[in-house]
Amino acid sequence: MKTRQLCYTALFAALTAICSQLAIPTPWQVPISMSMLAVFLSGSLLGFKWGTAAQIVYLLLGMVGAPVFNGMRGGLQVLAGPTGGYLVGYVVAAAVIGLMMPLVNARWNLAIVLAVGLAACYAFGTAWFMILNHTALVPALTLCVLPYLPGDLVKIAVTTWITWRVGVLRFEKAQLAQQ
């Protein structure tokens, strides 16, 4: 079982790297990317331990210079830049989502869990952006959160559907195995 979990961890780290490249540049310093979708999926499908590990692997790969961050960039200078807090927030978001997954018993619960994980990521990213740019909270939220909310709500909906469907398939498979 552990080998399978390690493979899933590597797969979700790679998925995050791929989704990070699927981005729309913005006039602000933070692009709109699909990476949060991969973070949501890693936390919801792999759980706390392995979902968090997947995001740590992604972060470590980028820190050592692998071009996994948005724009095929890597290195510590990216973490020191305006998106660094969000990259650290990926780890926190996956951890929060993974910790809260045992509480999920309905689709709307899952959407709330994903929203809490997103809020954790936003908290780290916006705080870092404020420190780096000497910006107050309201202007930072206007630049770093509000423009991204519509897309993130779509990502929450997609992740909810995928996670719920995978969970239903697992449950059905377990029932068939018992018969």
Q: Which domains does the chain have, with CATH numbers?
A: 2-178 (1.10.1760.20)
pTM of the entire predicted model: 0.90
Pairing of strands 23-24, 32-33: antiparallel
Q: Identify the pLDDT of residue 87.
A: 96
- Number of Cβ atoms within 10 Å of the Cβ of 135: 16
Number of neighbouring beta carbons within 10 Å of residue 142: 13
How many Å apart are CA 179 and CA 173, to the nearest integer?
A: 10
Mean per-residue pLDDT pooled into runs of 10, the chain (179 residues): 89 97 80 93 95 98 95 92 93 97 89 97 95 94 91 96 78 50
List phi, psi (to 5°) of 42.
Answer: -65, -40
Instruction: Determine the pLDDT at residue 122.
Output: 97
Q: What pLDDT is recorded for position 135?
A: 93
Place of tokens 């961890």: 9
pLDDT at 10: 96
For residue 175, the model assigns a pLDDT of 47
Cβ atoms of residues 95 and 82 within 8 Å: no
Asked if 64 and 38 touch (Cβ cutoff 8 Å), the reply is no
* Number of residues written out for the chain: 179
pLDDT at 36: 97
Return the pLDDT at 177.
Answer: 54
Residue 48 near residue 98, CB atoms below 8 Å: yes
Give pLDDT, residue 169.
Answer: 52
Tell me the CB-side half-sphere exposure of residue 111, using CA atoms within 13 A.
11
Per-residue pLDDT at 176? 47
